[in-house]
Structure 1
Amino acid sequence: MRYRRTTVPGGTYFFTVNLASRASDLLVKRIDVLREAVKTVKQRYPFRILAWVVLPEHMHAIWEMPTDDADYSKRWMLIKQRFSWAIERYEAIGASRRSKGERGIWQRRFWEHCIKGEQDLARHVDYVHVNPVKHGYVERASDWPYSSIHRYIRQGMLTPDWACEPDATIQDGERS
């Protein structure tokens, strides 16, 4: 059975990509290798990164594809492949993966959602940026180093305390 994906040339997509082991921290431990893999693939097969967050064992990204191209699957395959080639072999590899020449680093599939309009895009960008808080890695989204939130802050689109809950309320001049 062939897995069918939505493909719209020039479309904007939200992705979730996972490592095979949800207990791994390989993505942040080897962020340099991931960045180089993305850079290399992006040079050959362009796409625009609207948002991205890398957590220890998974990542979320929002890409805008070129107007004449919708092949994000090829890009993800190449990013995963380049990352895998650069990482030392440590994982146990099952017979099925071994027969296909695969490593055991990544989940085979990824999840994608075709963005439908500005409100959908804004909701997904927020989701990407708040994800390290949701998973309990930091209290403020801007404290997570592997996130496009820093570009949004530099560009004045967000503040460093974006999405933060106030730690205390002030009533009659005193903290409660």
Structure 2
Amino acid sequence: MTTVTHERHPIFQDWQLARLLIAEMRRLHERQLVQSLAWVVMPDHLHWLVQLQETSLAKLVLQLKSRSAIAINKARETSGRIWQKGFHDHALRLEEDLTATARYIVANPLRAGLVKRVGDYPHWDAIWL
């Protein structure tokens, strides 16, 4: 799943705001609505490889966006949109390599030129670590 910030503002360049989003992702994981397999928070978007458990993808994304927007607006003492409407999804087929997809996701900062090594980027995780 990929979702983008409103007007692609790079709000997640701010370390604290990125960590607020990650906290909401972890909360959804801890509530067993989803199993997070791999993710990366880029400056203006999120890539999240998940296995759904107790909810639909649409409900999961709605919860993530609404709760993270509330937390981010509170931290910035602002109001307004944080996320663009909608999201992009791609269901993996049985023949698709799950770990290769996860590697592709977490390597986004490297391909974007944000870091020279994946391990230097602070906002990603994968269950294979």
State the TM-score, normalizing by the size of structure 2. 0.82
**One-letter amino acid of the structure 1 residue matched with residue 122 of structure 2:** P
**One-letter amino acid of the structure 1 residue matched with residue 34 of structure 2:** F
**Equivalent position of 1:64 in the other structure:** 51
Taking every aligned residue pair, what percent have the same amino acid on both sides? 26
**Equivalent position of 1:83 in the other structure:** 68
Residue 34 of structure 2 contacts residue 50 of structure 2 at CA under 8 Å; is this kept in 1?
Answer: yes
Residue 54 of structure 1 contacts residue 147 of structure 1 at CA under 8 Å; is this kept in 2?
Answer: yes
Residue 33 of structure 2 contacts residue 55 of structure 2 at CA under 8 Å; is this kept in 1?
Answer: no
Residue 48 of structure 1 contacts residue 63 of structure 1 at CA under 8 Å; is this kept in 2?
Answer: yes
**Equivalent position of 1:74 in the other structure:** 59
**One-letter amino acid of the structure 1 residue matched with residue 103 of structure 2:** D
- For the residues of structure 2 that align with 1:50 and 1:27, how far apart are their CA atoms? 23
Task: Please list every run of 5 or more consecutive structure 2 residues that lacks an aligned counterpart in the other structure.
Answer: none
CA positional deviation for 1:31: 2.2
Which one of 101, 121, 124 corresponds to residue 144 of structure 1?
121
Q: CA RMSD in A?
A: 2.2
Task: Please list every run of 5 or more consecutive structure 1 residues that lacks an aligned counterpart in the other structure.
Answer: 1-14, 92-102, 156-176
What is the CA deviation profile of residues 141-169 of structure 1, one whole-angstrom value per residue up to 9, with x for unaligned ones?
111111115x53xx4xxxxxxxxxxxxxx
Runs of 4+ in 1 over 4 A off after TM superposition: none
Give runs of aligned pairs for residues 9-158 of structure 1, distance below 5 A.
Answer: 15-26=1-12, 28-29=14-15, 30-44=17-31, 46-66=33-53, 69=54, 71-88=56-73, 90=78, 103-117=80-94, 119-148=96-125, 152=128, 155=129
- For the residues of structure 2 that align with 1:108 and 1:132, how far apart are their CA atoms? 23
Determine which structure has greater relative contact order: mean sequence separation of CA pairs < 8 Å that are 6+ residues apart, divided by chain length: 2
State the TM-score, normalizing by the size of structure 1. 0.62
CA positional deviation for 1:27: 6.4
- What is the count of residue pairs matched by the alignment? 125
What is the CA deviation profile of residues 117-145 of structure 1, one whole-angstrom value per residue up to 9, with x for unaligned ones?
25342332121021001111001111111
